[in-house]
Every structure is written in C-alpha cells, then in structure tokens.
Structure 1
Amino acid sequence: MAANPSTTLTHDDRMLECYRIVDKELEIRHRGEFTPRDIWEMARMTVSAQFLPHYFSYVPGWRRALRRLGGDRIMPDFACIGAIKSGTSELATYLMQHPNMIVPLSKEPNRENPGDWRIFYPTRKEVAELEAVRGPMRAGYFEPRLHQVAVLDGFHAQRPDGKVIIMLRDPVRRAYSHFKWDFLATGRKSHLSGYMTSYRDYVRRALDVFPAHGFPTSIVGLPPLEAGIYAPSVRLWIERFGAENIHFIGAEEFFADIPGTLNSIFRFLGLPEHEPAIRQPVNTNNIDAPPEDPEARELLRDFYQPYNKELFAILGRELDWI
C-alpha cells in the first residue's frame, strides 16, 4: 500500500519533535546524573521516538526493517552540506517546508556510503503519486559532511547529475559553536571535561596541536580548527560536480534574509518560490557554557585569514566575516 504523502513525505509540524528530543536527551546526559524525573522523561521520549515522521539521525531498527519491504527507493536529487555547526540543520528544516520538497525519514543517516541512504527515502511509486498532484518533487541529503571525501565520491557515483548546496559559516563564529557542542556532548563527569573549562584554553590547545589530530574532543569528525578550513573541500566538490551545479550560501546571509536565501535555492533546484513560515531556531544548544573570549576570537581570526582568502578566491567573492 502506498504511504499517505501528507504524513510521510511532506512537511509536518511534528517534524521538529526530533530536535526537541535530542536537545532534552543531551541536556540530561550532560548533567552526568539521572533523577527519577529524568528516567521517566527518557523513557517517555524513547517511546515517542518510535513513531516520529522525521528523525534527526538514528531511526529505530524496526522502522528501517519495514521500509525494506516497500519497493525500490529513490536517491536524493541534491546534497545540502557544510561543516558541522554551520547552520545546516536550520536550513534543512526551512527547505523541507516547501510543498515540493520530500522529507527524508532521517536528516542525518550517519552512513558514509550513499548507496545506504535509499532506505530513508520514499519509493519511486510514492514519488510518482506525489508528482501527479504537485508537479516535480525534490529530495535532499542534509548531513554536514563537507569534508568527507567518501560522501563526495559516493554521491557523485550515485548521482553524477546531482546538485549541491554548500553552506559556509564564518569559521571564527563556527568554532565557538563547535566548542559549545563539545562541551554539551562531553558532560561534566567525562574524562574530557577538564579540557572544556575555558574557551580561551580550548582554542590555544587546538592551535598548539595543529595540524596533528590529537585534540581531545568528544565530537566525531574533524578537530575544531580543521573543520573551519573550507577551501580544499570546496575545491573538490567543484571539481566533481562542476561550478554550475553548486550553489553557495553564507550562513550569515541566510539568517539575515531567510525567505530570499531559500528562494534562491528553490530556483537553483528548479522549484517555484515559496514563502517560509518563520519560527524559533532549532538545534541551538542553549547550554550554559564558558563564554566566548575576545582573545580567542582574535587568535582564530589570524589563524583563518589565509584560509579564508583562499576560499574567497575560489568563490570569486568575499563573505562578510569578522
């Protein structure tokens, strides 16, 4: 039986529930201790998470198993990527408001092999039914894997005609968001917590070990400095897909003009313009972390200056970064 498009393939207000669950779970785990109320709340969220229309990352195994019975599934038409903590989650949720945008079951399937992504997308039959009513539909991949070469090559192998949206955030500001995420994910009782007591020390330590990969972090992926060096990865994406198939946006530009930025993307994807419903941001990490430090900001500004210059030369324009 074909799925009901209005509940499985298109935007649903309940789609944002996955972000609320992730935020609450991380908040509880960060404290490093569980009260009876926390245990009850975690149990409630575990049950609720079995039936979400959209997931931030992990999808219950039984949901994935059922989808294997549904028939041939599509690959995404485009990849919407960036470095971690660049605002890609916010961008993704706004793009998914468009009536011609297919909402994948998981925003971040956490699979480097794009051939394994299909289980999170609708069947060809379901898409055909939607297109008969709404016109051309588009499906996107929304994981912040700008720097993962296996994702780049795998997506190109699956969709050499695919389009790419790359979101670039000021690396100095991105670094502090990276630190806050590291602070949240580490938790106060982790053996790494001693490295998170001061943002200035965090930055100095990162500079001291660069370019070695020995930085003490709880975040899987690139260390904080390397994640903000965009030029080499941007060049690779352009070489694979061609400049005409890549749309660059600055995170600062997006947040300053959400409707205008979204419609530039919709035009790039061959979709009609759409007025978004502006709402509170998601995935913001409101944890009470050590504050950003002016000295650390200046150190990072000096560090990134040559890398930003290289990036701007590739883009053919400068971005309004500090």
Structure 2
Amino acid sequence: MDGRVETKGRLPDFIIGGAPKCGTTSVHFLLGSSPEIGIPDDEVHFFDADDPIAHPDFLHAGRGGLDWYDPDTPEGLDWYRGRFAALADRPLVGEDSTLYLHSPVAPERIARVLPDAKLIFMLRDPVRRACSQYWHMVTRGRAVCGLETALSRHPNLILCSTYLAPLRRYLDLFGPERVRVCLFEDFLADRQGVMDGLCAFLGAAPLRVGHEDGWHNRTFYPSNPRLQLLLNRISRRIAARQYRNHFDADRTPRAALRARMHRRWFRHAHPVLLTATRAPPVAEETASYLRRHLSDRNRGLSDLLGRDLSQVWPGFEG
C-alpha cells in the first residue's frame, strides 16, 4: 500500500485497536448499542491479516507453498468494505481489532486506507493484562503449559503488555487529536464517565450506561488447572482451526465441517472444567518478574499519557 488508497463504499470512521483483555469488548458493545454507531459483531483483523506473530491461524502450508491472506489487493479492500455494508445507514461506523496496537504494519496501512479515522486504545495494568491473556488462552484451549512456561512459549503475552512504543507510533502518525487512550481501571470505576468521553471524542450523542451493561466477555476459569491443561492438548488442535477461514476463502464442505466441530467441542466438551469465577493466584516470584520487566518495557508511558500510572497500577514504575 503506497500512498493513500482510493476506496468506494462505506469504511470505518473509527477503530478500537486494542489492547487485548483491557475491556475492548465491553466498549465495543456499549458503543454499538448507540443508534448512531455501527460496529460488526466480530473482530475484523484486516490491517494485520498477514502477520504470522499476531495471527498464525491465518497462515498455513498449502500445496503451492504458503497460503495467506493479502490485504493489499482490490479484493482485500472489497472484503473489508463488505464488513460494513449492513451498517451504511449509521452516522458513524467503527471496527474492533485488538491486535492493531501491537502490529508493526497496521498503523501505516490504516493511515493509507482510513486517513481521517480516529483510534481508541484501552490499556490495563500490564501484569494483570498478561495474566488475563494467559488464562484466556487456557480457557480457549490454546495453552497447554503453566504461566511461567507460557511467557517464553507465547511472546504475545509480553508484547501485548508493551504499550509505550506502539502508542508513540500511532500518536506520531495520527496526532493526539485523533487518538484516545483509556484505562481499563478507569472504566471499572466510572463506566459512564469513560463512555461519555468516548462518545464526545467520536462526535456521538452520550449513552446512558446501566449497571448491568458494564461487562462483556466474562471469563470462567478451570476448577482444576492441571487437568484443564491436559484437556487442552486436544482442544488446541481444534482451536487452531477456528480462524483458518476468517476471510471466507474456503467454502468447501470440509471447511463447514471444521466450523461445526469447533462449535460443538467448545460449546459442550471443552467447558466442562470451566466453572471457577476467579483465576488461580500467580506465584509471587512470577509477579515480581512481570512487574519489573513490564515496567522497564513501558518506561516513559506516564510521561506520554501525562499521568502517574504508578498510582493506578500497583508496582508499576514507568
């Protein structure tokens, strides 16, 4: 994508770009409840579709070599526009793709296709965010090891808690007037205030947020973590195919069968142990490592946001 891309059809006015496990799903559905705003139900993952680190499920070995989705094509842009076709009557349209914040290629691609878009990013205590993502992977059947092993086996746990450099890239490219950063902790404390600010940022009328509207995508945890990890050795093979046909390229009966298998397994068999409402505790030595390492990775973030984050995130020094 060289230079700005000319497109026809409705495209987003804003993007909720991350980070994962920071309340983006709740913000997505609250904004989407406005009669002025339309957002596709599922995450779109267009501008980083060819990123093997963020989306390994989107790439697989084919008979002729690597089978991957190229967003830098007319067909790719047509697919992207099609995601918003049913929302064309809304004054504002947006999308939610929580890995855009950490994609090295997404900012420039977004700027070329959506030069006037606004960006929303949700941040959270980086230690708690990393642990929450780990348990999300466990509950989705994608992790088969403990947290300590997962930190080296799944680098996104650390990368997605590294906010400073990615935010600077977006701020430099889009300018502070088109980038809104919110803290998950503020959202928990004052959902109405955060949503009022986001609506004003987007140019939409304020939303009335009820007490029951504040939480989406709630996680249930394994009652027996060791047994769950053993079960995940089966689940991960099924989970790895969940997004293989994200771009609707494969319309064969085999693809339909994979989709049915995934739905049935994760609706009936996989959740049998997911009954606990709280995550198991993190070992203090592990938490200490994460606080130190993620503070160093984000050193300067308080200055960038103009707020002492150590007052919000216990143990943070950045």
TM-score (norm 2): 0.63
- Per the alignment, residue 315 of structure 1 pairs with 305
Could you say which residue in structure 2 is the equivalent of 1:122?
85
Structure 2 partner of 1:227:
160
Q: Partner letter of residue 313 of structure 2?
A: W
Q: 1:177 to 1:123 in 2, by over 3 A?
A: closer
In 2, the alpha carbon distance for the partners of 1:123 and 1:158 equals 20
**Higher helix proportion:** 1
Please name the residue that 2:120 is paired with. 165
User: Within 2, Cα distance between the matches of 1:85 and 1:77?
Assistant: 23
Query: Which of 111, 114, 120 is the aligned partner of 2:46?
Result: 111
The Cα RMSD (Å) is 2.2
Instruction: Report the counterpart of residue 179 of structure 2 in structure 1.
Output: 246
1:283 pairs, out of 217, 221, 235, with: 217
Residue 309 of structure 1: CA displacement?
Answer: 2.8
8 Å contact kept, 1:181–1:285: yes
The answer to whether 1:152 aligns with 2:107 is yes
1:223 Cα offset (Å): 2.2
Q: Is the 8 A contact 1:156 1:241 kept in 2?
A: yes
CA distance in structure 2 between the aligned counterparts of 1:83 and 1:102, rounded to whole angstroms: 21
Distance 2:283 2:133 in 1: 14
Work out the CA distance in 1 between the residues paired with 2:210 and 2:81.
Answer: 29
- Rounded to whole Å, the distance in 2 between the matches of 1:309 and 1:317 is 13
Q: How many Å apart are 1:279 and its aligned residue?
A: 2.1
Aligned to 1:298: 288
Per-residue deviation, 1:307: 2.8
Distance in 2, matches of 1:75 and 1:153, equals: 16
CA deviation map 1:41-88 (0-9, x unaligned)? xxxxxxxxxxxxxxxxxxxxxxxxxxxxxxx63110011122222221
**TM-score, normalised on structure 1?**
0.63
Q: Residue 123 of structure 1: CA displacement? A: 5.9
Q: Which runs of 4+ in 1 moved over 4 A?
A: none
Alpha carbons 1:97, 1:276 under 8 Å: kept = no
1:75 to 2:11 alignment: yes
Indicate the SS of the match to 1:228: coil
Alignment match of 1:86 (pick from 7, 18, 22):
22
Percent identical residues:
26
1:179 aligns with 2:134: yes
Partners of 1:155 and 1:251 in 2: CA distance: 24
Q: Contact 1:253–1:261 at 8 Å: present in 2 too?
A: yes
Q: Take 2:201 and 2:46, find their aligned partners in 1: how far apart are those partners?
A: 26
Cα distance, 1:141 vs. partner? 1.4
- Equivalent in the alignment of 1:265: 198
* C-alpha separation in 1, matches of 2:156 and 2:180: 26
Counterpart pick for 2:95 among 103, 121, 141: 141
Q: Equivalent residue for 2:32? A: 96
Separation in 2, partners of 1:271, 1:90:
17
Instruction: Please state whether the residue corresponding to 1:165 is helix, strand or coil.
Output: strand
Q: How many pairs were matched up?
A: 219
What amino acid does structure 2 have at the position aligned with 1:121?
Answer: F
Q: In 2 relative to 1, CA 82–318 (structure 1 residues): closer, same or farther, beyond 3 Å?
A: farther
